[in-house]
Amino acid sequence: MKKEISSVLIILCLIQFKCLAQEFDFKRPLKGINGPGWYQLEVPTELYSKIQEDLDDIRIMAISDGDTTEAPYTIDVTNPIIKILDKNHEIINNSRKRRNYFYTLEMENLETINEIELELLQRNFSWRVTLEGSNDQKDWFTILNRFRIIGISNSQTDYKYTRLRFPDSKYRFYRISIKSNSRPTLESASSKYYTKIDGNLQNRPVVTQKVIQLDAGRFTVIDIKTNSVAPISQIQLSVADTFDYYRPIEIERLVDSIKYQTGWQKRYETVYSGTLSSFNKDAFSFRHCIANQLRIEITNYDNEPLNILKTEIMGPTHKLRFRVSDNRDYALYYSDKNSTGPFYDIEQFLDQIPSDLPAVQMGEEVELPKEGSPEVSALFENKLWLWLIMGAIIIVLGLFSINMLKKAQ
């Protein structure tokens, strides 16, 4: 009985394997490979509309006379690298002079910092902060003057902005002065050294931008379309209004469209949730996704809608670092919805790959003929296949049941 079950499982596995066999739709010859060695290739924008989002369906291969050589590769994403050194500090002095409250932080080591994050007990506040630095607590030098921090907590939102950002500074002591009618409760403070190693973000030109006000202006929806399908990881909104504001914001990308009897329904996926605020005008950064249609939703509550001047969209590129071991003609094969990602040994030895690699270029796209497509079509469209498989399973289960009944008697 076990043999019969095993046979059916083997048949099903072979069928599944046949269905999932790699059949790439396109290839592009690679130019500039001069013998064995390491090379790099930047994925062009026009490929993203034809490949899987995680790039699982690309291969670098040389095929001739039925002999295939596959070149191992690794993928680099050119997003900026952010490094943060974070340290908590003891508050050594806590004093007051009229409406100014002073807090002194002592650095454990004399290190360069450019941020201080304040953790305050209060939830609703709007205060001005002065930051000074000193090495002896006698001579103080102003770093920030009248820098605004804010906290808002109500039934609609819970928002705080208490991060002091300033140019690189190196002092033994930092004094924080908060001007307030009541004593601020500073529970802790941490310093940071924030460095950003520039990547290679590329501009994704906006083709259309449509702003819609919903529910009498309580919600603003911005539909955006870029010129091509490409990786996106950063969005910068330019707001014309000069008054203070803080609004919940969601950024979504179009995943697909589903056709109903009433028409097409677009399906979106959220890639970022946060706050659009006049206190922090940094770009919204998120894990890169591949798209060319975006939707931004801003919740205005009872406030007047914001005047959005323009939207800037940026995204990284993908670079393949690969190794060839012969002098054959290689090509990039891509576009196979059933393909799974490869696993190469070089992923375990990335530090051994040379840093300065010659770049190769791609030739014109060639559409590949489909081999074995009749068999795949017959498997799903010809009902005889389905009946044969179901019949085999029923026979095996029937024999198994009879065998069990005999043993029970």
Residue range 166-176, pLDDT digits in tens: 999 999 999 99
CA distances from 97 to 182, 207, 299, 309, 408 (A): 12, 56, 41, 44, 93
Chain segment 203-215, per-residue pLDDT in tens? 999 999 999 999 9
To the nearest whole percent, how much of the chain has pLDDT over 90? Answer: 64
Mean pLDDT value across residues 356-371: 90
Average pLDDT taken over every residue of the chain: 87
Read off the pLDDT band of 408 (50, 70, 90).
low
**Among 249-263, 338-352, 377-391, the least confident range:** 377-391
Mean pLDDT value across residues 384-403: 75
Mean pLDDT value across residues 399-406: 72
| CB-based contact 91:366 (threshold 8 Å) | no
Quote the radius of gyration of the chain (alpha carbons, Å).
30
Alpha-carbon gap, residue 151 to 155, rounded angstroms: 14
To the nearest whole percent, how much of the chain has pLDDT over 70? Answer: 89
Read off the pLDDT band of 157 (50, 70, 90).
confident
Residue 45 scores a pLDDT above 80:
yes
Q: Which carries the bigger pLDDT value, residue 370 or residue 53?
A: 53
Alpha-carbon gap, residue 67 to 48, rounded angstroms: 28
pLDDT at residue 292, as a whole number: 94
Chain segment 92-131, per-residue pLDDT in tens? 888 999 899 999 999 888 889 999 999 999 999 999 999 9
Residue 76 scores a pLDDT above 80:
yes
| CB-based contact 155:76 (threshold 8 Å) | no
Mean pLDDT value across residues 332-341: 92
pLDDT at residue 12, as a whole number: 46
**Among 319-333, 360-374, 377-391, the least confident range:** 377-391
Read off the pLDDT band of 85 (50, 70, 90).
confident
What tokens appear for 259 in the block? 């056709």
Read off the pLDDT band of 5 (50, 70, 90).
very low
**Cα angle vertex 105, ends 101, 109, to 5°?**
170
Read off the pLDDT band of 385 (50, 70, 90).
low
DSSP β-bridge partners for residue 359 = 40
pLDDT at residue 378, as a whole number: 45
Residue 389 scores a pLDDT above 80:
no
**Cα angle vertex 226, ends 299, 77, to 5°?**
95
Read off the pLDDT band of 221 (50, 70, 90).
very high
pLDDT at residue 223, as a whole number: 96
Alpha-carbon gap, residue 42 to 35, rounded angstroms: 19
Q: Which carries the bigger pLDDT value, residue 180 or residue 370?
A: 180
